[in-house]
Structure 1
Amino acid sequence: MIRLIFSDMDGTLLDENGNLPAEFGAMYARLKERGIRFAPASGRQYASLVQTFAPWRDEMIFVAENGTMVMEGGRELFSSPVERSLALEIMRMGERLAGVQSVFCGKRQGYLHSADDAPAFRAELSKYVSQAAVVGDFAAVDDVPIKMSFCDFSGHAETTILPAMQVFRDRLQVSLSSTEWVDLYNFGVNKGSAAQQIQQRLGVTPDECAAFGDYGNDLELMGAVTHSFAMDNAIPEIKERARYLAPSNLENGVMAVCERILAGEFD
């Protein structure tokens, strides 16, 4: 019997406008009644996830920032800080990339450089980071770094950001999180490793877990559960790794599979 569901957000649970399915609240109530917990697992900031799931903020486990920050009931379960001097070195590299915006992701909030504080970037950033401050120098940030993120609006992050950041691949993970975003964070930290730690804490086995994903930062999550679902709109690597295929996010695929879970199809 499935007791815990992990779900990515963008391109997975959310629609093309970044909204939850209209029936999510009713579905969540049915899952909760059956003793099935729901854990959003995203590259998004914890504050952003709490904003999206405000009615259930004290009930869910939040796997935020690609697994570098895991929270429950407003309490940190675990996190993975990046060594500060290395984080600042990476931010300086990002500032040298033409047409690229940088975000220093701390435990408390995100930080963007004053040079990047433009309405267009603010709009893009607000999808993932709901609490952000503007700074003139990342070295002045008084927060614990857990992730460094870089955005290319052109949708070519794989060629404009990723190659430059590979210089750090011997010290940190360098992850292409979407066509626009590249994230750097500690080795061994990802949605999958976070899911495994949560399983251990709750006494839940991989056979009792389901997970949904669509992009590269969901690869390890697909391997952490028995019932792994690639969205129909997922990249080929996710479809190869996952055990099952779900309808696309535009077809409310997560909700459709949750109906099957409640029907006992995967017991």
Structure 2
Amino acid sequence: MSIKLIAADMDGTLLSSRKQLPKGFFPLVRTLKKIGVRFAPASGRQYYNLYEQFGEIADELMYISENGGMVCDGRKIVSFEAMPQQLVCAAVELARGLPNVHAIASMRDGAAYEDDDPVFVENMAMYYARRKKVPDLLEAVQQEPVCKVALFCKNAAETNVLPYYRQMFDDKLQVALSGADWVDLMRLGLSKGVAVGVMCDNLHITSAQCMAFGDYLNDVELLRSVGESYAMANAHERLKKVAKHVCPSNDEDGVCRTIRSVLAVE
């Protein structure tokens, strides 16, 4: 099997339930690099958050961040897909009118938010390493391009956020449920899968030479975009129907175990 790129979602996939990387992950990445295989974390998380997660090997990885809104190779930005400014403004205004919904906007150099709700701030800190509180988010998003707007609603994103944004933006923006608490908005047609295509072009490889792992519905396009797709044992049942294979869960080091087995590496 001529795999040249491996992309893996983070939360619920590469990371354990305790948000920890698998043991032996750093040496595995270096072994893969020696045989010409690149590894790319693929996440709704901010690039700067992802980069910080990987310490000494951070510069050796490629990154699909913001659910495909920003693609990087080490410290180099490969692509940044800005949303139409008018739609960004409309998304922020809608969030202001919904109870217990808080917005954060992702830009090239960081993210901006205006609400200081403690539950929102605590959750946001897990995914946004470079962020700033602004007095007026609507004004801030008119100052520079935005690649993603994320809406937070604790344990109720699917019922209290998703229907309103689907109704208003379904034919204008990519609207993705990104977990129990989050809904992500990106430029129409954008996804982790599209970002894999950007990486393939950058590396001069085909999608058949790619492997991907995921656990949630925002990984559907990611798994469909590659030759070898794996849903975690803990994945959403609908994602398991999309994937070619099901591998051990995130708490069983499923990603690393599968890579070692399929590619015959240590």
**Which ranges in structure 2 are unaligned for 5 or more consecutive residues?**
none
Offset, 1:207? 2.3
> Which residue number in structure 2 is paired with residue 68 of structure 1?
69
CA distance in 2, matches of 1:195, 1:89: 29
Other structure's SS at 1:19 match: coil
| Aligned amino acid, residue 196 of structure 1 | G
> Which residue number in structure 2 is paired with residue 132 of structure 1?
131
| Aligned amino acid, residue 202 of structure 2 | R
Other structure's SS at 1:145 match: coil
CA distance in 1, matches of 2:77, 2:264: 34
Offset, 1:183? 0.7
Offset, 1:143? 2.7
**TM-score normalised over the length of structure 2:** 0.94
| Aligned amino acid, residue 126 of structure 2 | K
Q: Deviations over 1:38-83 (max 9, x none)?
A: 0111100010010111322222111110011101132211121011
Q: Is the 8 A contact 2:5 2:211 kept in 1?
A: yes
| Aligned amino acid, residue 78 of structure 1 | S
Q: Is the 8 A contact 2:93 2:138 kept in 1?
A: no
Offset, 1:168? 1.1
Percent of aligned pairs sharing the same letter? 36
> Which residue number in structure 1 is paired with residue 259 of structure 2?
258
CA distance in 1, matches of 2:9, 2:214: 5
Q: Deviations over 1:192-230 (max 9, x none)?
A: 011012112212122221100011111011111111000
1:18 matched to 2:19? The reply is: yes
> Which residue number in structure 1 is paired with residue 182 of structure 2?
181
Q: Is the 8 A contact 1:199 1:205 kept in 2?
A: yes
**TM-score normalised over the length of structure 1:** 0.94
Other structure's SS at 1:245 match: strand
Q: Is the 8 A contact 1:31 1:262 kept in 2?
A: no
CA distance in 1, matches of 2:204, 2:171: 34
CA distance in 2, matches of 1:109, 1:101: 17
Other structure's SS at 2:231 match: strand
CA distance in 1, matches of 2:147, 2:169: 15
> Which residue number in structure 2 is paired with residue 205 of structure 1?
206
**Which ranges in structure 1 are unaligned for 5 or more consecutive residues?**
none
CA distance in 2, matches of 1:250, 1:95: 37
Q: Is the 8 A contact 1:31 1:37 kept in 2?
A: yes
Offset, 1:119? 3.5
Offset, 1:245? 0.5
